[in-house]
């Protein structure tokens, strides 16, 4: 008899996006043939930049010849990509890292889900609320929480409610925790933490010896020159922060898969004997055991993003999505909705005016406006009363959707 990991029993029966798909399938089964606009899951719609596909095609050709064929690559990633990241994402912002502090991966979702393995099962975890569900579920699976209570909060998990009054930005907890997930620009609220807010978090982490797991998957969408793109722009973050980044949304890699995690060698964790160990060395050990490196073809594609042509093409894509966000914001505000985000992030967060719950609003949007969004409650209890729209859409579909929303709710 194979005993299972019973922590899985504690999870909600389905991950958020499959539940959205289930409801949409149920609706379309009953009313087939309708033209529905999907502004739900944040999945890109524009094709890859031609510089990226050309680099991947050239890499495929290299693999055809015995002289240039590649077998297993360096598990943490090829230097050509790590050096490009180092120079263009970090050194250009005054952040000094060494290439071996960068771990190329197959995407940020896996990194977000896996990084918790570095910590004790007894470690206390804090999360912003609402939040990207992967942070919560991966810790539930690992046994770091108790059961899900009737108020939709897991026992032992520390929730940091993000409210309108504080611009949906979480504040450091008063109780002791071992690590905390921060996401800026934020999924789902679109809020972006400013320099002072990030500094407060870094000072708190230094004081309490907690680790910040900083998810910067959406940094490319920051347009405001005063906002930091990396936690390492804050003095002192090298000793207390791990940063995750992704090519998914900034370069259209949701299907191709590539991201990276930065772990400076100064970030320390502690054994039960109080002895410090560098988390970088633990993650290197884990990588060597559980990963064989991101595909050479994909890494060549990612490196092409950093060429002048790749930069230009991908920034046009980012600008297109941010124009979508601006159009959505403006229209929804004109219709009288309360709206946040969408200025330095590809998500618009809105209040579900006149609806009993965010799932109720989701159902109404689907039935009355033929629009798929994401109910705020799916991101945590403090998401109740809100709804997320993604800017990853073709323009025509988006404009039609806004017309239908106006007819139904305006
Ligand atoms: C979302 O819609 O929240 C994103 O697609 C999440 C992800 O990138 O996994």
375 Cβ below 6 A of ligand 1: no
Which atom of ligand 1 sits closest to the CA of residue 390?
2
Residue 402: which pLDDT band, with cuts at 50, 70 and 90? very high
42 Cβ below 6 A of ligand 1: yes
Predicted pLDDT at 353: 82
137: nearest Cα among 387, 404, 378? 378
CB neighbour burial string for 327-350, b if at least 16 within 10 angstroms, e if fewer: bbbebbeebebebbbbbbbbbbbb
Q: Tell me the per-residue pLDDT of 297-316, one tens digit each, with 9 for 90 and over.
A: 999 999 999 999 999 999 99
Is residue 44 over pLDDT 90?
yes
pLDDT averaged over every residue in the chain: 97
Contact residues for 266 (Cβ-Cβ < 8 A; gap 6+): 238, 239, 278
Element (H, E) at 268: strand 268-270
Predicted pLDDT at 19: 87
Is residue 12 over pLDDT 90?
no
Q: What is the DSSP letter of 147?
A: P
Angstrom distance (rounded) from CA 181 to CA 211: 9
DSSP string, 15-48: -HHHHHHHHHHHHHHHSTT---EE-SS----SPP
109 Cβ below 6 A of ligand 1: yes
Is residue 14 over pLDDT 80?
no
38 Cβ below 6 A of ligand 1: no
Domains (range + CATH), the chain:
13-42+309-409 (3.90.1150.10), 53-306 (3.40.640.10)
* 184 alpha carbon – ligand 1 mean position (Å): 14
Is residue 13 over pLDDT 80?
no
* 1 alpha carbon – ligand 1 mean position (Å): 36
Is residue 252 over pLDDT 90?
yes
Q: Tell me the per-residue pLDDT of 209-231, one tens digit each, with 9 for 90 and over.
A: 999 999 999 999 999 999 999 99
Residues 313-336, mean pLDDT to the nearest whole number: 98
Which atom of ligand 1 sits closest to the CA of residue 41?
2
Q: What is the DSSP letter of 154?
A: B
* 277 alpha carbon – ligand 1 mean position (Å): 32
Q: Whose CA is nearest to atom 4 of ligand 1?
A: 42
Predicted pLDDT at 144: 98
Q: Tell me the per-residue pLDDT of 75-134, one tens digit each, with 9 for 90 and over.
A: 999 999 999 999 999 999 999 999 999 999 999 999 999 999 999 999 999 999 999 999
Q: Tell me the per-residue pLDDT of 288-297, one tens digit each, with 9 for 90 and over.
A: 999 999 999 9
């Amino acid at each position: 008899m194979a005993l299972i990991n019973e922590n899985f029993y504690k999870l909600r029966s389905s991950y958020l996006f499959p539940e959205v798909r289930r409801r949409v399938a149920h609706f379309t089964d009953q009313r087939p043939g309708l033209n529905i606009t999907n502004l739900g899951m944040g999945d890109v719609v524009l094709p890859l930049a031609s510089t990226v596909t050309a680099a991947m095609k050239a890499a495929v050709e290299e693999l055809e010849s015995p002289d240039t064929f590649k077998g297993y690559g360096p598990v943490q990633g090829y230097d050509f990509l790590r050096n490009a990241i180092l120079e263009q994402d970090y050194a250009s912002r005054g952040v000094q890292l060494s290439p071996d502090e960068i771990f190329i991966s197959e995407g940020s979702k896996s990194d977000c889900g896996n990084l918790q393995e570095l910590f004790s099962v007894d470690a206390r975890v804090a999360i912003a609320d609402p939040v990207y569900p992967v942070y919560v579920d991966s810790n539930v699976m690992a046994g770091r929480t108790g059961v899900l209570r009737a108020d939709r909060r897991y026992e032992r998990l520390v929730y940091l409610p993000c409210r309108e009054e504080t611009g949906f930005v979480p504040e450091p907890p008063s109780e002791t925790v071992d690590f905390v997930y921060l996401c800026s620009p934020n999924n789902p609220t679109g809020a972006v933490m400013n320099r002072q807010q990030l500094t407060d978090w870094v000072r708190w982490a230094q004081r309490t010896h907690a680790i910040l797991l900083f998810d910067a998957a959406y940094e490319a969408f920051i347009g405001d020159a005063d906002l930091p793109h990396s936690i390492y722009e804050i003095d002192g973050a090298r000793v207390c922060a791990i940063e995750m980044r992704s090519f998914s949304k900034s370069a259209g890699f949701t299907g191709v898969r590539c991201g990276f995690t930065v772990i400076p060698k100064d970030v320390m964790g502690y054994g039960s004997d109080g002895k410090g160990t560098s988390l970088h060395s633990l993650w290197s050990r884990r990588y060597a055991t559980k990963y064989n490196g991101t595909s050479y073809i994909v890494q060549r594609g990612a490196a092409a993003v950093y060429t002048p042509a790749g930069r230009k093409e991908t920034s046009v894509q980012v600008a297109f999505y941010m124009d979508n966000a601006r159009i959505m914001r403006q229209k929804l505000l004109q219709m009288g909705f309360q709206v946040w985000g969408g200025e330095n992030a590809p998500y618009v967060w809105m209040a579900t005016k006149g609806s009993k719950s965010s799932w109720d609003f989701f159902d109404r949007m689907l039935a009355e406006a033929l629009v798929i969004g994401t109910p705020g409650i799916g991101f945590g209890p403090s998401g109740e009363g809100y709804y997320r729209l993604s800017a990853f859409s073709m323009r025509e579909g988006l404009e039609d959707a806004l017309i239908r929303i106006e007819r139904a709710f305006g």
